[in-house]
């Protein structure tokens, strides 16, 4: 299939065409030609739009699929449909399904269902059996079977010995451990950020300390594993390490977490981190409405924390923006606040919510957080918008205004539903196909 993307603003720092407006001819999944006024016959599909921009395909490195086990909330087909609508060509899925992705058979099930989808699915396999934090999975087998990283996902690793041994075990294969920092003994029964707002609303708080304490612990354990020869790497140069990280912190949310990771990177530690898009939009005052679609973990923090997250994105401390897509059915959300499940659906609104509420990032910086850095973290092939390269592209209008009223996810637990947003995805080009937004 041939596609001709007409008059597109190219956003790709690695491309010789970065910042230029060019036509892009895609043939059989490859970029065949980039130039001005490329001719096309009647068999070529032409893609045109006002203020059309194109970048490398976006990658979301934290998505809950709910399949297998909870397909009534989301399945692999619907999650790919939602991801494509949000501009993503690749997603990395958490292992917290039923059964948990802790063996090659379950890994193979996901991989088989992913075939033929408009989005590439990369599987994050469990560190421990059933993600229970007790016995190790066969990580080497899972790695050889195609797992891109290891994590217990929504169950942060509490046992320091398990985390330490996982880092040691993954070192020889250049493997990646992803962990959400949370000391769960400090967050039990917590509903929202611990602070003035939780006191006023009468809800049990989740202290920032629970995140920061575990993050400090994990950094100390990483030091223990990688101390020799690490302190000089990139020290004093840039917060962005040039080698793939060994340890990735998922969905950080506090100012001190940003500062701890900033210092670790300045010392050359092989770490990376991400932030959920909704954490950049809301602070804890939003929960005065008791809207259960705003109940997330980690919780929305203070305005000072939100400002620190934006600053961390701007200076390169925070590597990626994720959806933390967690579908919940109506029965899980239409409850009293303290009974409702955590999580929001976010795949379709990551770009628009970030653009709409942008405080600090240029468009190039934002695309770096969505396309380039996530690929680096997951060790995916390095791509660029250049002739002869695979065509994995996202097409968008950064100034386009639209209303989020037709979600593609099976679940509707989004705080943005019905809102008018800036930043419209036009479609994706991936695996030789153009998938327009609905």
Give the count of beta carbons closer than 10 Å to the beta carbon of residue 29: 15
How long is the chain? 438
β-partners of residue 187 are none
Q: Which two tokens stand for residue 36?
A: 């001005």
Cα–Cα distance for residue pair 228/216, rounded to 1 Å: 19
Q: In the annotation, is 324 catalytic?
A: yes
Nearest CA to 305 out of 208, 392, 237, 396 is that of 208
Judge whether 47 and 5 are in contact, CB under 8 Å.
yes
DSSP string, 12-40: -TTSTTTT-EEEEEEETTEEEEEESS---
Mapping DSSP onto H, E and C, the string for 199-235 reads: HHHCCCEECHHHHHHHHHHHHHHHHHHHCCCCCCCCC
CA distance 27 to 387: 11
DSSP string, 140-190: HHHHHTT--EE--TTS----HHHHHHHHHHHGGGT--EEE----TTTTTT-
- DSSP at 372: I
- How far apart CA 438 and CA 433 sit, in angstroms, is 15
Which member of 60, 75, 152, 324 is catalytic? 324
242 CB-near residues (< 8 Å, 6+ apart) = 234
Gap between the Cα atoms of 428 and 321, Å rounded: 18
Alpha-carbon distance 46 to 37, whole Å? Answer: 12
Residues with catalytic roles: 324
């Amino acid at each position: 299939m041939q596609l001709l993307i007409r008059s597109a603003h190219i956003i790709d720092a690695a491309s010789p065409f970065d910042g230029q407006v060019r036509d892009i001819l895609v043939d059989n999944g490859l970029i065949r030609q980039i130039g001005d006024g490329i001719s096309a016959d009647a068999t070529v599909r032409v893609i045109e739009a006002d203020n059309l921009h194109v970048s490398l395909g976006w990658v979301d490195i934290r998505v809950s699929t709910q399949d297998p086990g909870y397909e009534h909330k989301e399945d692999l087909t619907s999650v790919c449909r939602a991801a494509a609508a949000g501009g993503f060509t690749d997603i990395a899925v958490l292992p917290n399904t039923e059964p948990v992705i802790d063996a090659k058979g379950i890994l193979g099930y996901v991989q088989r269902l992913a075939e033929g989808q408009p989005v590439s699915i990369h599987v994050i396999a469990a560190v421990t059996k059933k993600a229970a934090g007790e016995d190790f999975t066969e990580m080497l087998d899972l790695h050889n079977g195609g797992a891109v990283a290891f994590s217990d996902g929504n169950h942060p690793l509490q046992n320091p010995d398990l985390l330490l041994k996982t880092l040691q075990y993954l070192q020889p294969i250049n493997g990646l451990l992803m962990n959400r920092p949370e000391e769960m003994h400090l967050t039990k029964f917590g509903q929202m950020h611990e602070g003035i707002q939780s006191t006023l609303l009468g809800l049990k708080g989740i202290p920032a300390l629970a995140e920061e304490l575990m993050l400090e612990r994990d950094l100390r354990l990483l030091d223990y594993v990688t101390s020799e020869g690490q302190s000089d790497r990139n020290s004093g140069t840039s917060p962005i390490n040039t080698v793939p990280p060994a340890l990735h912190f998922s969905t950080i949310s506090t100012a001190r977490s940003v500062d701890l990771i900033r210092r670790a990177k300045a010392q050359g530690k092989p770490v990376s981190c991400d932030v959920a898009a909704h954490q950049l939009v809301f602070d804890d005052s939003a929960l005065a409405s008791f809207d259960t679609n705003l109940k997330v973990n980690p919780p929305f923090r203070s305005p000072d924390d939100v400002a620190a997250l934006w600053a961390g994105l701007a200076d390169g401390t925070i590597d990626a923006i994720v959806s933390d897509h967690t579908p919940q059915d109506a029965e899980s959300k239409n409850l009293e606040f303290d009974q409702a499940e955590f999580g929001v659906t976010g795949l379709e609104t990551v770009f628009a919510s970030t653009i709409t509420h942008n405080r600090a990032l240029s468009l190039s910086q934002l695309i770096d957080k969505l396309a380039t850095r996530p690929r680096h973290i997951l060790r995916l092939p390095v791509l660029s918008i250049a002739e002869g390269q695979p065509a994995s592209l996202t097409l968008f209008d950064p100034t386009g205004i639209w209303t989020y009223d037709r979600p593609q996810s099976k679940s509707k637990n989004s705080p943005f539903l019905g809102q008018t947003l800036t930043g419209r995805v036009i479609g994706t080009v991936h695996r030789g196909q153009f998938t327009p937004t609905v």
